Structure 1
Amino acid sequence: MQAVVLYVVGDSPSIGAIERFISTQWNFASKPRVHYHTDDYFVVKFNSLEDKNEVLYSGPHTMNNRPVIIKPWAADFNFCDEVLRTIPIWFKFPNLPLNCWSMDSLSRISSGLGNPIYANACTTTMDRISFARVLIEVDITQPLPKKINVKWRH
């Protein structure tokens, strides 16, 4: 489905405020439909899968200096359990050896932190090689590892 769940941390904006946020921040997308859920979550339904993906991968987003959590909607999505337990976070991997820049290698490395979702365009095209940037869904109730050991074969 071409929808996302949206939640503003520490705030309960009105549906009008969310619609204004969407029109200014996501003006590249056709106007989506916004549905309010009673637990202060919003389901945003896009007109195309491309618009949804562009929004998911364009973050991070803030509204009134508060983080906006955006997650893909799924049929088994549980509003009470999921939104503040797992959140997508952009991670930078500085000084990553060039032989670790394949999507398979980045996915394996990112899996040490959580569920890899997306690598940004500069990473996938290797336009900037000082660091790789990957969006990873992380369980924030668990501590992050202090380091990730990377071993590769020659």
Structure 2
Amino acid sequence: MSLNFVEPIIWDGEKIIELSKVEIEKENAKWKQAMILYVVGDCPSIRALERFIATTWNFVSKPKIFYHNDGYFVIQLNSIEDRDEVLLSGPYTIGNRPIILKMWSENFDFKAEVLQIVPLWVRLPNLPLNCWGMDSLSRFGSALGVPLYADECTTNIERISYARLLVEMDVTRKLPEKLKVLDLNGKLLEQAVEYDWVPEFCQLV
């Protein structure tokens, strides 16, 4: 790839690089179906990760794997549908070590996000059936963090013992084991919260 000279702008006597909106949006489009993958504990080799993906994610097309020296991988899926299918089918482990997956974003910061904001699968046991709509589930998830998805069984109401949501949560804070809910009659209720997996250093409250 040959490069061109692009004149920097001058601001208060300093050279400033001005990025091109068209170029950045074009590059963002290349990575919008990508995910950040981090393995808690020892980082696996690319070969080990390739074997894991080939056997565990065999329901999607083979992705590209990129390793970053900070100890995480960028997994470039072939479509947004593949990315969402992988996220919805978690959580995952490799060599008994938990895998943290996050959707790539243009402002991604590994230390600020992967080590602090983690997508966790949350279960809401015995959730009343009239609370299984998209709006109600979004409200429950929003009380915990940033809700991403409900799993397929929850979406299709194929299992009614608990609803299961994927929620981005700040794992540096205590994770709640119950939520306060104000029903339509003005009565304050409690909803239990359970987790498929939480980092070892997390505390429940």
2:108 is the counterpart of 1:70: no
Q: Does 1:28 align with 2:72?
A: no
Stretches of 4+ moved more than 3 A in 1?
Answer: none
- Alignment partner for residue 172 of structure 2, among 130, 138, 141? 141
Displacement after TM superposition at 1:153 (Å): 1.6
1:126 pairs with 2:157: yes
Q: Deviation at 1:80?
A: 2.2
Letter in 2 for 1:122: C
User: Which residue of the partner structure matches residue 96 of structure 1?
Assistant: 127
Looking at structure 1, the residues matched to 177 and 150 of structure 2 have their Cα atoms a distance apart, in angstroms, of 21
SS of residue in 1 equivalent to 2:107: coil
Q: Distance in 2 between matches of 1:58 and 1:96?
A: 22
Taking the aligned partners of 1:11 and 1:94, their CA distance within structure 2 comes to 33
CA deviations on 1:36-91 (whole Å, 9 max, x unpaired) are: 00011000001111111111111000000000001000110012221110111111
SS at 1:138 equivalent: strand
Between 1 and 2, higher relative CO (CA 8 Å, sep ≥ 6) is seen in: 1
Once the 2 structures are TM-superposed, how far is the Cα of residue 145 of structure 1 from its aligned partner? 2.4
Partner of 1:81: 112
Indicate the residue corresponding to 1:5 in structure 2: 36
Aligned partner of 1:18 in structure 2 is 49
Q: Distance in 2 between matches of 1:80 and 1:44?
A: 18
Aligned length: 154
Partner Cα distance (2:150, 2:107) in 1: 25
Q: Deviation of residue 150 (structure 1)?
A: 1.4
CA-based RMSD = 1.1
Larger Rg: 2
* Counterpart residue number, 2:86: 55
What secondary structure is seen at the aligned counterpart in 1 of 2:167? strand
Matched AA of 2:164: R
Q: Distance in 2 between matches of 1:13 and 1:130?
A: 36
TM-score (norm 2): 0.73
The secondary structure found in structure 2 opposite 1:67 is: strand
Runs of 5+ unmatched residues, structure 1? none
Counterpart code for 1:36: Y
Moved more, 95-104 or 61-70: 95-104
Equivalent of 1:116, from 121, 139, 147?
147
What is the DSSP-based 3-state SS (H/G/I as helix, E as strand, rest coil) of the residue aligned with 2:180? coil
